[in-house]
Amino acid sequence: MTLPDIVAADPLLAQSSAYRNLDILVRSGVIRRISAGGDHAHFELAEPLLGHHHHLICISCGSIEDIHLDGKVERLVDKSLSDIAAQTGFTPIHHSLDLHGHCADC
């Protein structure tokens, strides 16, 4: 959802209140902000609530589609990223993979 989607769902809700609450939910780890370009960020439930997944993000219309990698591919991505992190002394916590491009409708 975007901020305008949330405000449209309840016309009595002030946009400033919605934005403040979204900020609190992001900081508390309940929701995740996804920047798809365009005018508004999208918000979704955080990974612990929704499950691990990635996104296809259309840079033309701003649509976002959730995708799930095959378990074997996801493990390979995790291992590759962990190996790279170890080489630099970086301690990874999680990863996200968003593909940006054009959807079939655009």
Residue 3 has pLDDT above 90, yes or no: no
1-51 belongs to CATH 3.60.110.10: no
Task: Write out pLDDT tens, residues 33-54.
Answer: 998 777 778 999 988 888 899 9
What's the topology of domain 52-106?
Answer: Dna Ligase; domain 1 (3.30.1490)
- What average pLDDT does range 16-41 have in this prediction? 89
Question: CA–CA separation, 88 vs 60, rounded Å?
Answer: 36
DSSP string, 62-93: --EEEE---HHHHHHHHHHHHHHHHHHT----
Give the residue range(s) of CATH 1.10.10.10 domains in the chain.
1-51
Query: Is the model more confident about 96 or about 81?
Result: 81
Q: Is the Cβ–Cβ distance between 44 and 52 less than 8 Å?
A: no
